[in-house]
Amino acid sequence: MTSDSLIELSKFPGMGTTIFTVMSKMAQDCGAINLSQGFPDFDGPEHLRERVAWHMAHGHNQYAPLAGIPELQEQIAAKVFDLYGCVADPGLQIAVTPGATEAIYCAVTACIQPGDEVIIFDPAYDTYAPCVRLNGGVTRHIPLEYPDFRIDWQRVKDEINDRTRMIMLNSPHNPTGSVWCEDDIDSLRRVIAGRNILLLSDEVYEHITFDGRQHHSLLLYPDLAERAFCISSFGKTYHVTGWRMGYCVAPENLMREFLLIHQFINFSANAPLQYALADYLKKYPQYASELGIFYEKKRNLFGELLKNSKFKLIPSSGTFFQLADYSAISSDTDTEFSTRLTKDHKVAVIPISVFYQEPPDQRVIRFCFAKHDETLREAAERLLDL
């Protein structure tokens, strides 16, 4: 067998490398300020990092249990109860995973059979559709409505049929920064009523909402939570995306299926990090409630810095992303524009067309503002030149 015939066996013909890797590499190669990939340029809390070192030095270096160490499962259970009034059995309904990414893959793989349909809202985080396709599922893409990026629930209703098995939801939303309101929950409830449809709720930015908005976790609503995988990310919450730590909360029957997959992909998540996170959550339970304010200040600063630029900023209600329309600067496609911005102006960004199955005719890019104020100031100076 030649290597060419091996390539013909590709499960992903035509699939390229994820845009985040492409743009971060381009940023590095060009010496650009990296406002592309969604990670902070600052460290997580010192005490948390100290606890990792402590646990590594004190023998917590072997396999953790499949679904996570009980101490961390209990802390997650306490958190979802305090925040959302959700009573989750720590041992039966909570799994700690190597990042939200693995949790998404496990949830989809556990439930999607060949031919099952999954509804995805575009622009969508780039992991969703490939997970569905790898499992033989069929993605049904529904565009969010520009410029508010709200869900057209009538369209969702029209799209649902007997093959619809799952709806993938994400609020606060990457890349748009839109956040659900109570109406969305009511609409969701209506469209799935009487149907055997599961929900995957990607809530990795659950703590990052602005201007007094509440995060509507599905864990707040028992009738929705009973058919949902709710997924979060310690990486996003504690500024430690490189640790690859996340978790999933689901009803017992769904969690059982989830763990059947998880056990053969990663078996368990990193042990010393789990102990450290358990310590930290116990000691600083209020930490996450301050995160929204922290990032709101950064959003405001970045907006103020770009006030006199030619970019038109699209309001961000959550996450650490800011979309900007650049049509007053260029008619290039967003991929061309992002490349030019990175190479010539030394600020790396993400073109949002990559998050669509059928990209609309828009001139919009995404900035990540999870950066030191100084980094944002320097980037803004360069952007004001355009």
Ligand X SMILES: Cc1ncc(COP(=O)(O)O)c(C=O)c1O
Applying CB under 6 A, among 107, 129, 144, 204 the residue interacting with ligand X is: 204
* Of residues 245 and 341, the one with the C-beta less far from ligand X: 245
Query: Does 174 participate in binding ligand X (rule CB under 6 A)?
Result: yes
Report the alpha-carbon distance of residue 206 to residue 215 in Å, rounded: 6
101 binds ligand X (CB under 6 A): yes
Q: Spell 81-104 as b/e; 16+ CB within 10 A means b.
A: eebbebebebebbbbbbbbbbbbb
In one-letter notation, the amino acid at residue 190 is R
Is residue 125 a contact point for ligand X (CB under 6 A)?
Answer: yes
Please state the closest distance from residue 126 (CB atom) to ligand X, in A: 9
Kindly state whether residue 359 participates in binding ligand X, applying the rule CB under 6 A: no
Please choose, out of 84-92, 93-101, 143-151, 213-221, the segment that lies near ligand X by the rule CB under 6 A: 93-101
Q: Is 258 helix (H, G, I), strand (E, B) or coil?
A: helix
Specify whether the CB–CB gap between 351 and 334 falls below 8 A: yes
C-beta of 197 vs 231, nearer to ligand X: 231
Nearer to ligand X, 18 or 375 (CB): 18
Q: Of 42, 126, 24, whose CA–CA distance to 342 is shortest?
A: 24
CB of 310 to ligand X, least distance (A): 27
Q: How far is the CB of 165 from ligand X (least distance, A)?
A: 20
Whether the CB-CB separation of 144 and 190 falls below 8 Å is answered with no
Among 34, 109, 170, 270, binds ligand X (CB under 6 A): 170
Rounded to a whole number of angstroms, the minimum distance from the CB of residue 174 to ligand X is 4
What is the smallest separation between the CB atom of 109 and ligand X, expressed in angstroms? 15
- Judge whether 278 and 306 are in contact, CB under 8 Å: no
- Residue 219 CB, nearest distance to ligand X (Å)? 16
State which residue, 38 or 272, has the beta carbon closest to ligand X.
Answer: 38
Q: E-assigned strands of the chain?
A: 33-34, 94-97, 117-122, 138-143, 164-170, 198-202, 228-233, 246-249, 312-314, 321-325, 347-348, 350-351, 364-368
Tokens of 132: 């569905």
Cα separation values, 275 from 54, 243, 263, Å: 10, 13, 20
Total Cβ atoms within 10 A of residue 7: 9
Indicate the residue among 101 and 339 with the shorter CB distance to ligand X. Answer: 101
String of contacts with ligand X for each residue 224-253, x by CB under 6 A: ---------x-x-----x----x-------
Least CB distance to ligand X at residue 140 (A): 19
Kindly state the tokens that stand for 280: 């930290």
Distance (Å, whole) CA 350 – CA 353: 9
Q: Measured between alpha carbons, how far is residue 315 from residues 36, 49, 323 in Å?
A: 18, 34, 8
Distances (CA, A) of 368 to 33, 111, 307, 336, 363: 11, 32, 17, 19, 17
**Is the CB of 131 or the CB of 225 nearer to ligand X?**
131
Q: Tell me how many residues contact ligand X (CB under 6 A).
A: 13
Which residue lies nearer to ligand X by CB, 49 or 310? Answer: 49
- In this structure, are residues 299 and 322 in contact, taking their beta carbons and an 8 Å threshold? yes
Q: Is 100 in the site for ligand X (CB under 6 A)?
A: yes
Q: Which residue is nearest to ligand X (CB)?
A: 99
Piece in contact with ligand X (CB under 6 A), picked from 97-105, 185-193, 211-219, 262-270: 97-105
Instruction: Give the shortest CB-172-to-ligand X separation in angstroms.
Output: 9
Instruction: Verify binding: residue 172, ligand X, rule CB under 6 A.
Output: no
Q: Which residues bind ligand X (CB under 6 A)?
A: 38, 99-101, 125, 170, 174, 202, 204, 233, 235, 241, 246
